[in-house]
Amino acid sequence: MIYNPNWFGNLLRQQSLSFLGAFLFLVIISRLFYLQVIKSDSLLVESHKNAIRDIPIIPIRGNMFDRNGILVVDSYPYYSLTVTPKDYKHDADELVSNLLNIDTLILRKKISDARRYSPFVPSVIYRDIAFSQMVSLEEYGFKLSGINYRIETKRNYPAQMHGTHIFGYLSEVNQKMIEKQPDIYNLGDITGGSGLEKFYENTLRGIKGHEFWLVNATGQLIGSWEKEEKNIPAINGDDLYLTVDDGLQGYTEKLMAGKTGGAVAIDPRNGEILALVSKPDFDLNALSGVKSSSIWRDLVNDQTKPLFNRATLTRYPPGSTFKPFVAAVALQEGVITEDSKLVCNGIFYFGNRGFKCHGGRHGAIDVRTAIQKSCNSFFYQLMTKINLDKLHNYGMEFGMGQTTGIDIFEQRNGLIPSTEYYDRVYGKRGWTKGFLISLGIGQGEVGVSPIQSAAYASVIANGGVFHQPHFVRRIFHKQTGTFEDMPISSKPVSVSAKNMAIVREGMRRVVQAGTAVSAALPDVEVSGKTGTAQNPHGKDHAWFICFAPYDNPEIAISVMVENAGFGAVAALPVARQMLKYHFYGRNFILDEEMKMGVMVLSETGDVIMSREDSLRVAD
Amino acid sequence: MGLTKRFPIDWVIVVPVLILISFGTLAIYTSTINSDVSENFYRQVMWVVISIALAISLFFINLKTFQILAILLYGVSIVLLIAVLVVGKEVYGSKSWLFIGPIGIQPSELTKYTAILMVASYLSIQKSGRSAMIQLIIAMAFLLFPVGLILLQPDTGTALVFIGMSVPLLFWLGLDDLFTFMLVSPVLSAVFAFFNFYLFIGFVILGIFFIFYRKSLLLQAFYYITTNIAAGFGTVFFIQQVLLPHQRKRLEILMDPFIDPKGAGYNVIQSEVAIGSGGLFGKGFMHGTQTQLGFLPKQWTDFIFCVISEEYGFVGSMILILTFGVLMWRLLNLASRIKQRFASIFLMGMLLVISIHLFINLGMTMGLLPIIGIPLPFVSYGGSSMLTFMAFTGTALAIYAQRKEENL
């Protein structure tokens, strides 16, 4: 029997239903316990993720000051547009792209990148929006859930110097950096892309703060969370105090305007870089905030390569500026003494190959005169006697064969060849001593950049100590309010003071009565050496190195101008003006320009600056 | 004093119901007062007042009158169910609302009460000449006839309440336990197989023990095994082989809402987050972020439990659940002890309606069941639901006042 009215509501039925009910209650209560007690913590995190937006506060990037305390780099605020993808609705695509005047596809790509990064975190999609754009976005605010603003800072260069290749540009962090340091970088953050900005990124960046906001389900910010008690303020980046002299740097940039090459001035007493210019360069302002892809593309494709730091990345034969070094090595190695005389017949034969000297026959001359007259024959002869590997090792010590260790990333090894180098390039028996002869006059397989050349000039200037060239003297720590002095790395070279003195004397004579008499200044005794790097691809590159004053040098300079011919003509005038600026000051230069009307820098009458330009120098 | 003697009040029903209504009103206040539907709170207060008035009126009605009233009310609700199909207003894809001026009612809600009243009334009137079996079938027809109309709206949630209620009610009325089990088990097998294959196997094995414990016939055992295996494997086969990928995906979301956290899975995830983030003691009155910031759509209706658990935590939720437990225990207790058939059947029906709503609603909000939109009795926002459950309550109190018991 399947149905019996007498069973109605009997004990079995009461008990079965009680049991079933109890069982279901148990299931529900267990689940409740699981959610509210066991999984509570993680679900609380989820609910915070829902309701609380962590809005990063971007710290203000550290400033930079020149050696005299002049502010050369600071930041000013601008507004950036951020999107929180979770709250953003794609219906707004068209409106936003119209208001920002960008392509809808680009906008979508930016938002999908942001979503991939994190749907909950606001990512920057557009930088430096104009005030009018902001007003229109505010007007439409009710439609634009997930769109917010963030105050960011843009670099500003208030002083005379541009410092393009010193400061470097800023750029947006790439995916790799975010993956490597996810605690530090979010999508759309700004980071140093080159120069000091990149090298001192960790110092300049500062530490992000956090502001916690409540948002509702449509993504609107409702108010602060926990009365702002959990907010963490940002810590602004530390300041850099540079070795660079704003006035000298700015003036050198103007002197080099229109040229292609590099000029570097170093304090030979400690390796402090007073000026470093590479031309052509570009306006850092163009890359200080929004890096517009078209500007970037133009810079990359520019035939004159303005992004390329010629002061540190080039490798050209030093030409005759190499001779003092070869002389120092020869003296130290005992190849010659200070009184040894070698004969110049106008041509030097090695085997049956003749190497010409310029300026006719120099006769029997000692090392000082050889430097003074830049006699090629003398140095050819030295080169036949100097051990190649010894030359290489000295070159390393003088800061030429390797990177100088300056505090920007853009640098390159120089080339001072060794036996190992020739073996590698020509094979073990593929080369003879004849290959080396021209090294004596700084031609052939030898190469340096202006920074290496300047470091080398410093070593001669200070009588034999290599100080690592550097840009930063000290760092001001914002949090502690203290200065941290940057250590200077120095190493004496293995040339005796006596031998260095002989070489220095030779260089003094170059300016007194040699190939660089036009570098002489009243009151300040200048020593120097011109050079011309043979260029198989075109016009020769001009070199000039110098230091002053002779007795207690405080500045060493190297100037290289590409495709400009003789060093004395193209490079020397730049160095001379730099020296004038350094020793006589700004007003002297202004007076001089006033008198001349136009600025004439070389005996050849080469006008490198128009009257308008010179007026700009005056401002 | 004479009134309370003539009409004794069952406080074990009244107090839990008032607690539940308070919980609900508070939660509706919390979740709507700061939103654009803040008038919902006042509407609900109005409905509570009307519903209590209704319950008090029903309390004074004679049980005999109820048995006659049942036919009238049932007839009216059937008419309304037909009317709603013709002139009803479509809300969220189902035509379940009738509007009289600004006031909307859902006839399908009210029918829960009238159908149970009808079944209780029909079965309690002694009829001669008809076999008990036939009477039972007719009673079930009264109960299940509205289901057809409700499915036409379509309102599957409410239909499920009727169907789910009918089986335990049949059992209560005297259907053989083994037969009831054989009736239900294939459905359970299919459901279990859908969620978890091992659950299904375990259920079938347990069932076999039960069958042999009940010393069933070999034929019955054979019937049991084949139907259950067929139901279970059939479900699996259907899901794996017959359904198209996108249809299968929709089913998978039921089981794992995180497959589609923004779409179909959104409510379940947000609901679990709301409940779980409440923790032991909750975030406090008006401090639930999920609630206050509107992460749960329409949380004042079917997802009201989330509001309560987020703001009052495990402790508050347990008080709510145990209050339901007390009420349900009391209804089972009365249904067992009161010997009038009308009273017992009605109370059992009321118990089953409340139980099914409670378990489905909580199971849904806690992510144990797919989303089936039915309200939490006495707690969720909604006039029709409040009216219905208060009609149940008023009638139950009337039954208590006029009961005949053996040992009370």
Nearest CA in chain A to B320: A29
Q: What is the sign of the dihedral through the CA atoms of A565, A567, A571 and A577?
A: negative
Cβ–Cβ contact A216 with B under 8 A: yes
Cβ–Cβ contact A17 with B under 8 A: yes
The DSSP string of A286-325 is GGSSS--HHHHHHHHH-TT-TTS-HHHH--B--GGGGHHH
**Rounded-to-integer distance, Cα B287 and Cα A503, Å:** 83
Kindly give the pairing relationship between strand A239-242 and strand A64-65: parallel
CA A510 to chain centre: 34
Are B24 and B380 within 8 A, CB to CB? yes
Are A288 and A170 within 8 A, CB to CB? yes
Q: Please, where are the H alpha helices in A440-496?
A: 450-461
For residue A87, the SS3 value is: coil
Answer yes or no: do B279 and A33 touch at CB < 8 A.
Answer: no
The pLDDT-based confidence of A614 (bands split at 50, 70, 90) is: very low
**Rounded-to-integer distance, Cα A85 and Cα A90, Å:** 9
Name the least confident of A79-93, A484-498, B85-99, B251-265.
B251-265
Cβ–Cβ contact A26 with B under 8 A: no
- When pLDDT is averaged across residues B248-267 and rounded to a whole number, the result is 68
Tell me the pLDDT tens digit for each residue of B348-404: 999 999 999 999 999 988 888 877 888 999 999 989 999 999 999 999 999 999 887
Name, in order, each residue with C-beta under 8 angstroms of A430's C-beta and a sequence gap of 6 or more: A422
A29 or A121, greater pLDDT: A29
Chain B residue numbers touching A227 (CB-CB < 8 A)? none
For the ranges A165-174, A280-289, B170-179, B311-320, the maximum mean pLDDT occurs at B311-320
State the smallest CA–CA distance between residue B101 and chain A in angstroms: 33
What the block records as the tokens of A317 is 């034969």
pLDDT above 50 (res A402): yes
State the smallest CA–CA distance between residue A94 and chain B in angstroms: 23
pLDDT above 80 (res A59): yes
- When pLDDT is averaged across residues A232-251 and rounded to a whole number, the result is 92
State the smallest CA–CA distance between residue A141 and chain B in angstroms: 19
Nearest CA in chain A to B132: A5
Helix (H) or strand (E) holding A524: none
Answer yes or no: do B277 and A46 touch at CB < 8 A.
Answer: yes
Nearest CA in chain B to A14: B336
Count how many Cα atoms sit within 13 Å of the Cα of residue A182 in the half-sphere of its side chain: 4
The pLDDT-based confidence of A448 (bands split at 50, 70, 90) is: very high
Cβ–Cβ contact B175 with A under 8 A: yes
Name the least confident of A215-224, A586-595, B268-277, B362-371.
A215-224
Are A411 and A195 within 8 A, CB to CB? no
Answer yes or no: do B171 and A28 touch at CB < 8 A.
Answer: no
Chain B residue numbers touching A36 (CB-CB < 8 A)? 275-276, 278-280, 309, 313-314, 317
Chain A residue numbers touching B268 (CB-CB < 8 A)? none
**Rounded-to-integer distance, Cα A296 and Cα A278, Å:** 18
Name the least confident of A107-121, A132-146, B69-83.
A132-146
Tell me the pLDDT tens digit for each residue of A184-197: 888 878 889 899 99
Q: What is the mean pLDDT of chain B?
A: 86
Cβ–Cβ contact B34 with A under 8 A: no
State the smallest CA–CA distance between residue B93 and chain A in angstroms: 24
Cβ–Cβ contact A215 with B under 8 A: yes
Phi/psi at A494 (5° precision): -85, 35
Name, in order, each residue with C-beta under 8 angstroms of A130's C-beta and a sequence gap of 6 or more: none
Answer yes or no: do B314 and A218 touch at CB < 8 A.
Answer: no
Answer yes or no: do B272 and A35 touch at CB < 8 A.
Answer: yes
Q: Where in chain B are the domains?
A: 2-401
**Rounded-to-integer distance, Cα B305 and Cα B357, Å:** 12
Cβ–Cβ contact A13 with B under 8 A: yes
Cβ–Cβ contact A497 with B under 8 A: no
Are B110 and B384 within 8 A, CB to CB? yes
Work out the percent of chain A whose per-residue pLDDT is above 90.
Answer: 44
Return the pLDDT at A143. 67
Cβ–Cβ contact A8 with B under 8 A: yes
* Residue recorded with tokens 């197989």: B193
Cβ–Cβ contact A22 with B under 8 A: no
What the block records as the tokens of A312 is 């540190």
Which of A7, A10, A11, A13 should we substitute to test contact with B (largest number of B Cβ atoms within 10 Å)? A13
pLDDT above 50 (res B408): no
Write out B321-337 in H/E/C secondary structure.
Answer: HHHHHHHHHHHHHHHHH
Chain B residue numbers touching A48 (CB-CB < 8 A)? 277, 289
Tell me the pLDDT tens digit for each residue of B91-110: 767 777 888 777 888 899 99
The pLDDT-based confidence of A604 (bands split at 50, 70, 90) is: very low
Tell me the pLDDT tens digit for each residue of A495-524: 999 999 999 999 999 999 888 888 899 889
Answer yes or no: do A20 and B279 touch at CB < 8 A.
Answer: no
Which of B123, B125, B289, B291 should we substitute to test contact with A (largest number of A Cβ atoms within 10 Å)? B289
Q: Which residues are bridge partners to A363 per DSSP?
A: A344
Q: What is the mean pLDDT of chain A?
A: 86
Residues 320-339 of B with CB under 8 A from A: 321, 325, 328, 332, 335-336
Cβ–Cβ contact B60 with A under 8 A: no
- When pLDDT is averaged across residues B297-310 and rounded to a whole number, the result is 86
pLDDT above 50 (res A603): no
Tell me the pLDDT tens digit for each residue of A18-46: 999 999 999 999 999 999 898 888 888 87
Answer yes or no: do B293 and A33 touch at CB < 8 A.
Answer: no
State the smallest CA–CA distance between residue B94 and chain A in angstroms: 26
- When pLDDT is averaged across residues A130-158 and rounded to a whole number, the result is 80
Give the number of A-B residue pairs with CB atoms closer than 8 Å.
Answer: 141
CA B193 to chain centre: 24
Return the pLDDT at B4. 65
- When pLDDT is averaged across residues A431-439 and rounded to a whole number, the result is 87
pLDDT above 60 (res A125): yes
Structural fold of domain A246-584: Beta-lactamase (3.40.710)
Return the pLDDT at B224. 87
Are A55 and A210 within 8 A, CB to CB? yes
Which of B275, B286, B292, B376 should we substitute to test contact with A (largest number of A Cβ atoms within 10 Å)? B275
**Rounded-to-integer distance, Cα B103 and Cα B383, Å:** 9
State the smallest CA–CA distance between residue B324 and chain A in angstroms: 10
**Rounded-to-integer distance, Cα B268 and Cα B258, Å:** 9
Chain A residue numbers touching B279 (CB-CB < 8 A)? 36-37, 40, 44
Return the pLDDT at A367. 93
What the block records as the tokens of A342 is 């070698």
**Rounded-to-integer distance, Cα A250 and Cα A277, Å:** 9
Nearest CA in chain A to B262: A86
Q: Which amino acid is at A366?
A: D
Chain A residue numbers touching B336 (CB-CB < 8 A)? 9, 14
Return the pLDDT at A605. 34
A277 or A211, greater pLDDT: A277
What is the ipTM, given to two decimal places? Answer: 0.92
Chain A residue numbers touching B267 (CB-CB < 8 A)? none
The DSSP string of A185-241 is --TT-EEE-SHHHHHTHHHHH-B-EEEEEEE-TT--EEEESGGGTT-B--BPPPEEE
Q: Please, where are the H alpha helices in A79-150?
A: 93-100, 104-117, 131-139
- In CATH terms, the superfamily for domain A53-242 is Penicillin-binding protein 2a (Domain 2) (3.90.1310.10)
CA B225 to chain centre: 30
Count how many Cα atoms sit within 13 Å of the Cα of residue A402 in the half-sphere of its side chain: 13
Closest CB from A18, A27, A40 relative to B277: A40
Answer yes or no: do A25 and B136 touch at CB < 8 A.
Answer: no
- When pLDDT is averaged across residues A231-236 and rounded to a whole number, the result is 86
Chain A residue numbers touching B355 (CB-CB < 8 A)? 21, 24
Answer yes or no: do A24 and B318 touch at CB < 8 A.
Answer: no
What the block records as the tokens of B404 is 């005949």
What number of other Cβ atoms are within 10 A of residue A516's Cβ? Answer: 28
**Rounded-to-integer distance, Cα A192 and Cα A169, Å:** 6
Answer yes or no: do A3 and B328 touch at CB < 8 A.
Answer: no
Nearest CA in chain B to A41: B277
